[in-house]
Amino acid sequence: MGIQLMLLSGILIAISNLCLRRSIDAGGTSKAYLMMQLGLSVFVMILLGPVRTGNFAWSTPMALFAIIGGILLASVMGFLGKAFEHGPPGLSVAMLNCSSVMPILMLVLLFGSQFGFYYTLWNAIGSVLVILGICWAGWDGGQFTNRSRWLLFIALSFFAHVAYLVFLNWRSLFINFGAEPGLGLHFTSEAANTQWFLPIIFFVASFIQAYLFFTQEKRIPNRSEVTYGLFGSVSNGLGAFLMVKATEVATSLEHAMLFPIFSVTIILGCNLWGRWFYHENVNWKANAVCIGGILLGMVEWTRIFPGLG
């Protein structure tokens, strides 16, 4: 079930990226769009969380924990936006998506197999293929205005993204394992399962984005930014909700390739709308390498071919 939810999440985030592209095409800016998208996503998260479940229970410790997630999410977007200013967008997004193979390594090191995290040689080979395919697909030949600053900001966004994805998995461990020793912090399953977790993350991220927008651009968002921000908030909110749910229900086999699947789905989705709406050239060979890496990392080859074990 974790894989299916992550596939749907990737498709929805790709649609959200299309809304961003449409907003910029209509004369908007990324800062304004992200402010509107994140701000409106708060209401989507409240509808999907407390309102949908009828669970309005509040946990102050988990709310404070969620603030960290909001800061990390805002950092990813802020650093990526700065990377766009100094280097090619395609390669910037590709490098960010490469971070999807890192969380499982951190989770194995931090928590290990006792919490359902393990990593095999096949996972590693598959992840390498995913990285190669992502970089190949994102290498659009764009120009660097400042290579050193691009490297700085893409590295910051890379590590902030890894930290954010590990953070989401960490919270799912509190839900599934409660206050068992070895998790670093102490949260009960009931506290960790508060439905206000995602609304708080998006509220904090939107607040930071709003501060950056109004201090730097000093204007009111235009019509296209509001309209596409509204549509983008729905797809982004649903995508984020499904991504978190995927981390909560994923099996031990699924954990290793969960986020690589997410990244590859986004890339495929963006390539498809780029082809359909903008007639952009798509590197299908690179996409095939990504998919091959996913299949190689997901299949339990030792069960199919016992001699490999």
Question: Residue 277 corresponds to which tokens in the numbers above?
Answer: 């709406």
Least confident of 106-120, 230-244, 289-303: 289-303
Q: How far apart are CA 56 and CA 47, in angstroms?
A: 11
Q: Round the average pLDDT of the chain to a whole number and report it.
A: 85
Higher per-residue confidence, 305 vs 51? 51
Higher per-residue confidence, 309 vs 298? 298
Q: Where are the domains of the chain?
A: 2-308
Least confident of 34-38, 95-99, 184-188, 238-242: 95-99
Residues 38-66: tens digit of each pLDDT: 999 999 999 999 999 999 999 999 999 99
Exposed / middle / buried, residue 252 (Cβ in 10 Å: 0-12, 13-18, 19+)? exposed
Q: Which long-range contacts (CB under 8 A, 24 or more apart) does 207-214 make?
A: 207/70, 208/70, 208/71, 208/74, 208/78, 209/31, 209/34, 209/35, 209/38, 209/39, 209/74, 209/77, 209/78, 210/35, 210/39, 212/31, 212/35, 212/78, 213/31, 213/32, 213/35
**What's the rounded mean pLDDT across residues 149-167?**
91
For residue 299, pLDDT over 70 is answered with no
Q: pLDDT at position 33, please?
A: 87
Q: pLDDT at position 178, please?
A: 76
Per-residue pLDDT band for 171 (boundaries 50, 70, 90) equals very high
Q: pLDDT at position 298, please?
A: 67
Higher per-residue confidence, 282 vs 277? 277
Least confident of 2-6, 44-48, 113-117, 143-147: 143-147
For residue 306, pLDDT over 70 is answered with no
Residues 252-264: tens digit of each pLDDT: 777 777 888 888 8
Residues of the chain above pLDDT 90, percent: 31
**Report for 43-52, 107-116, 288-297: range of highest mean pLDDT:** 43-52
CA distances from 233 to 4, 140, 205, 220 (A): 21, 28, 13, 18
Q: pLDDT at position 307, please?
A: 56
Q: pLDDT at position 151, please?
A: 86
Q: Are 258 and 6 in contact (CB under 8 A)?
A: yes
Q: How far apart are CA 56 and CA 60, in angstroms?
A: 13
Q: How far apart are CA 170 and CA 162, in angstroms?
A: 12
Per-residue pLDDT band for 142 (boundaries 50, 70, 90) equals low
Least confident of 20-24, 64-68, 208-212: 20-24
**Report for 54-68, 123-137, 182-196: range of highest mean pLDDT:** 54-68
The 3-state secondary structure of the chain reads CHHHHHHHHHHHHHHHHHHHHHHHHCCCCHHHHHHHHHHHHHHHHHHHHHHHHCCCCCCHHHHHHHHHHHHHHHHHHHHHHHHHHHCCHHHHHHHHHHHHHCHHHHHHHHCCHHHCCCCCHHHHHHHHHHHHHHHHHHCCCCCCCCHHHHHHHHHHHHHHHHHHHHHHHHHHHHHHHCCCCCCCCCCCHHHHCCCCHHHHHHHHHHHHHHHHHHHHCCCCCCHHHHHHHHHHHHHHHHHHHHHHHHHHHCCHHHHCCHHHHHHHHHHHHHHHHHHHHHCCCCCHHHHHHHHHHHHHHHCCHHHHCHHHC
Whole-prediction pTM: 0.85
Q: pLDDT at position 166, please?
A: 93
- Residue 39: name the closest of 260, 179, 245, 212 by CA: 212
Q: pLDDT at position 12, please?
A: 94
Residues of the chain above pLDDT 70, percent: 93
Q: pLDDT at position 297, please?
A: 75
For residue 231, pLDDT over 90 is answered with yes
Q: pLDDT at position 309, please?
A: 54
Q: How far apart are CA 165 and CA 100, in angstroms?
A: 8
For residue 139, pLDDT over 70 is answered with no
Residue 292 identity (one-letter amino acid) = G
